[in-house]
Chains A and B, each alone.
Chain A
Amino acid sequence: MNDGLRRLDELPVTLLVALAYLLCALWTDPFAPDPQALERAGWLTPLAAASGEGWRLFSYAFLHGGIVHLLFNLAMFAQIAPPLERSLGSLRFALLYAVAALGGGIAACLLYDVRQPVVGGSGALFGMLGALVAMNMRSGRHLLSFLDFAGPRRLLGTIAANLVIGFLLPFVSNTAHIGGLLAGFLLTFYWLWPGRAEPRTVWRGRLATVVLLGGLSFGSLCPVWRWDWLWLQSERASGPRQEALQRAAAMAYFGVRTADAGLVARFAERELEEVPQPPQRRR
């Protein structure tokens, strides 16, 4: 590692992320969060991501939908992040946070309604929990030897309890939780903790992880199967290409048998207006 990287690796990423949480909360008023302010600050909606604002796949992970949301996430972050940063190093920890946030964002983009907003750092927090599971799996004599110890078993219990709470409570996005969890786990299992794994398996896993995350990110930004993206593309095109895109949008919305572009046009006028909605929070 050269000097520049070594200096970067000494950055207190945990502290910086916590500060970013607080600053973003101050910007969007944590006691009465304004949806428009949250939207300006970078909440994530599948439509916005597909309209060319790909940065929202990361920015949403620093915003919170109120003081309770912020404090809960901050408390969990303060508990998990410092030991993880010490174990992995600052650069790897920063990469883990970014990829876990990306995984949560991708899951939300691929599975949510196009105008459903998402804010919160818990997708990335779940990514850290996934990373802890992967580290435990890698550091034992075999992949499941960590189950012999009470601490790692409690970690699995924490993940399960949080997922159950997420399924029970409204306004909690378990989709993004699971996306972040999987992204954090895969990244750590194949990239950050090569340890004693077989080299060929690790390289296959690394390649598959990169292609999967890259492909799904691409799919979030260019969802060719979604009517809203096709309609936005048609507004930028002209001539036969525009007509083809409008017919494709109609097919995507009404199903492949119907291709009434006029109906989709009326729907798009109504649906794609700027109508702020309350954000879907993640604890």
Chain B
Amino acid sequence: MSAARAALRHLPFALLLLVGLCPVLLYLWHQQDPESAVRLAHGIHRLLQQTLLATGLVLLGLLLLFPPARAGLRLCFAHLHRQFTTDRGPLLQALGELRHFASPQRHFEVGRLALAAGDLPLAAQHLDAAAAQTPDVAAVHYQYGRLLLRLGQPAAARGAFATAERLDPGHAFGDALLQHGRALWLLGQESAATAVFLSHRQRHGGSAQSLYWLGQALRRTGDAAAAHDAFAAAATAPGPRTAEADWYRAWARLQLHRPRATPPRSTP
């Protein structure tokens, strides 16, 4: 998933490069065979037209017929909005302060803000330093675990979340425990994940996200009836109508009606 995300991040630049290189490559082709270059150019033009038309039609059909598509579109817009409106001022200030006087607290601050801004290499550099210098602070391990999950390293993330939960039970309003379960599920340890999700539900109540993940884990363990109940609870889970919560509600509704639908591995 992290590879897909990285590819998605590079996609606009790759497209610009491709569009820029296309006339040059066509010219080189034209030097060899002018007729096939014209044929190729016409083919590219036709392919572009048909792809755009087909994409539009598929998107329209999905939006009308497939509830998670609407929720996914909203989630994409929310993600884009967050990318465009994440305040980089505090991060730059923290980086400036770190240059004058390095401390574990400042490394953590830079790592946390870089993670929020989506600058994963910078976040990794500083959270790594913070985790090495302050192994007994739950917040550091929690943020480090979030980073590792985004980098596609669930095994390391599981350890970080377990440490955070051990140092401060219920850390981040139970999110450390929930993400611990998520990391276990990504590692294929469904029974352990189910136990963690159930413990999370018992201690912190259920959100659309946690109940949906609980349903997934229960289904994998073979308890279809309990999974159905969890999905039903997720579909009607109270709480704010955020884009992310609605995404999980929509998938949970789908799981109720179409038990074999492919579950989302993560949020887009």
Contact = CB atoms under 8 A, between A and B. Distances in A.
B38 A224 contact: yes
Interface stretch (A114-122, A153-161, A164-172, A250-258): A250-258
Interface in A239-268: 244-245, 247-248, 251-252, 255-256, 259
A248 B37 contact: yes
* Chain A residues touching B, majority SS: helix
A242 to B, nearest CB: 10
Interface string A203-231: 01101110111111011001111000010
B38 A211 contact: no
B42 A256 contact: yes
A207 B17 contact: yes
B268 interface: no
Contacts of A143: 84-85
A207 B20 CA distance: 10
A208 B34 CA distance: 28
A223 B140 CA distance: 57
A141 interface: yes
Contacts of A215: 19-24
Contact of B41 (A145, A225, A247): A225
A211 B14 CA distance: 11
A212 B20 contact: yes
Contacts of B103: none
A225 B20 contact: no
Interface in B22-55: 22-24, 26-27, 29-30, 33-35, 37-39, 41-43, 45
Contacts of B2: none
Given A211-B17, A225-B38, A244-B35, A141 B30 contact: no
Given A143-B85, A198-B119, A218 B27 contact: yes
Contacts of B42: 225, 251-252, 255-256
B203 interface: no
Contact of B85 (A144, A224, A244): A144
B88 interface: yes
Nearest to A212: B20
Select the residue from B27, B33, B38, B43 with max chain A CB neighbours within 10 A.
B38
B199 interface: no
B13 interface: yes
Given A141-B87, A144-B85, A230 B38 contact: yes
A212 B14 CA distance: 11
Interface residues of B, number: 33
Nearest to B41: A225
Nearest to A209: B16
Contacts of A218: 23-24, 27
A204 B119 CA distance: 15
Contact of A145 (B19, B20, B85): B85
Interface string B67-94: 0000000000000000011111100100
A6 interface: no
A196 B84 contact: no
Contacts of A255: 42
A86 interface: no
Nearest to A186: B16
Select the residue from B35, B39, B87 with max chain A CB neighbours within 10 A.
B35
B16 A256 contact: no
A7 interface: no
A124 to B, nearest CB: 21
Contacts of B38: 224-225, 230, 248, 251-252, 256
Nearest to B16: A208
A216 B23 contact: yes
Contacts of A251: 35, 38-39, 42
B85 A142 contact: yes
A218 B23 CA distance: 7
Interface of A: 141-145, 196, 198, 204-205, 207-209, 211-216, 218-219, 222-225, 230, 244-245, 247-248, 251-252, 255-256, 259
18 contacts: A142-B86, A142-B87, A144-B84, A144-B85, A196-B88, A207-B17, A211-B20, A215-B21, A215-B22, A218-B27, A222-B27, A224-B27, A244-B35, A245-B34, A248-B37, A251-B42, A252-B38, A255-B42
Which 3 A-B residue pairs are closest in the complex by CB-CB distance?
A219-B23, A215-B20, A225-B41
